[in-house]
Structure 1
Amino acid sequence: MHAESATALDVTPIGSREAWGWRGRTLSRPVATSSGDAWLRLVSAPADKAGGKLWEGPQEAERLMPPVVPRPRLRGRRTWTEGGHGYLAELYDRITDSTITTYEPILRKAPDLDDAWWDELGTAIDSIAKVPSNRVAVRQEYLDRAMPQYLGIPIDTRVPAWTTAHGDLHWANLTSPALAILDWEGWGLAPAGYDAALLHAYSLLVPDTAADVRRRLGHILETPAGRFAELAVITELLQTVTRGDNLELEGPLRARLAHLGEK
């Protein structure tokens, strides 16, 4: 199907590199076009689940995100159904800088990031937050149900402020030394501070970097809304722990929860 999408979009796969997404849901490869190298990403899903918010996310990001948000630009797309599966092929500008982690979102060693990188990230997060959108990344109904269950403490689950978020801002979706923010499937409204809180949570195994996140993005995190966003993120990640994912984060997440409870 990836080869078929390359033919349909008039591009040619180059090299042997293959980038597989979560649980084999996506396959991406570098390709050559008449105007230079690009990146071809193919998404698959059962036909009855193809389409909707996740499939429209990159196209909507291309339409609405301001230029100050660094990201690979979407050049073209094609959708089709075959053999009981739906497919979405997306052709992007090729980003030559590497992601900070490979495949997994959890940070395991401190990255070498300069002041300009952090400044650009902060500007991007602030700019994303201002984009008007009817898309939803985190639902109030979910928080009402999940926060008491997974945090195990009495809590007011009402979101104090909503802003637009990338929704999956982790280390495998960020590049360096030049910053690019990848994977725009799930962006939309979330508790204010959600992106910064998620990046911080995925940094907890590297305390120095977690402290960098708190310092660099303190204007977001060190607010009542930012603290609520951290609790929302901790809720989500503790739920993933019950499913067998992110097991190494459980201890640091619970320690962070205890710290937030002291404030």
Structure 2
Amino acid sequence: MERAIRWLGAPADRIALREFDHGWVAWVAAPTRVDPAVPPDRVGDARVVVDRESGEVTSWPPLPVDEIIARSTPSTPGRFPEDVTAHLRKAGWYPGRRIAEADIERFDQRIRELTRDDPPELRVSAAARPILEEFGGLTIGVPGNTWRVHPIDTDPDPERFAAISTWQDEPVTPVAELDPPDPGDVVVGHDGRVFIGDFNGSYYLAEDFDWAVVRLIRGEEPLPSVRAGAEIHFTDYAGRPIDPSTTRRPEA
């Protein structure tokens, strides 16, 4: 409490405190308003987080306390490498992040409308839904190769990944858009595999979205191409071999 008081510069009886597994969130509690018609004398006070183990204090903007706790919670060990986790956190991701279910439903309705007159009709599949819930609205990647994860302010272009849809047992779901200079769409099959479609071709990225994110952030290329009959060719444009293991998470 003493550390929080020093950082917030308020009397102890004005400090609100919320404990969680990894520490405490503290903020200046708003005084009780006698007259609801009179605006408060201050709004938007900062919050601080005091780490339980180190005692380190970090300052936060006036976000909801539950969100600060989620953002302050360490990632599940082993899910992402440390460098990728750091990159994702800078992009706004944190463990337990979820966008509104209504946003997912609106996106599902929109992609159905886009393809209703040109089957197969797209939808948000069971494999794609948790990806959109956790990463939706974020921009992730590296300069020259970034993804904007749906739902965003632009629609996917089914023409760019039509070839992938034709050989999947079920329609794929677009989950992200590639920014220029090489626009394209990131799509997820019903089995969770991740592909990229653009006007130059179709490519296989990874066996699941988590590993696709690792490959994206680390700039791992080239990508195996996908050709007629769902055959994946593990060679680059010059015929040089591509190690198939690059598309899979390494064995622990």
TM-score in same-fold range (> 0.5): no
Q: Which structure has greater helix proportion? A: 1
Could you say which structure has the greater relative contact order, defined with CA pairs below 8 angstroms and 6 or more residues apart? Answer: 1
Query: Normalising by the residue count of structure 1, what TM-score does the alignment of the two structures yield?
Result: 0.28
Query: Normalising by the residue count of structure 2, what TM-score does the alignment of the two structures yield?
Result: 0.29
Higher gyration radius (CA) = 2
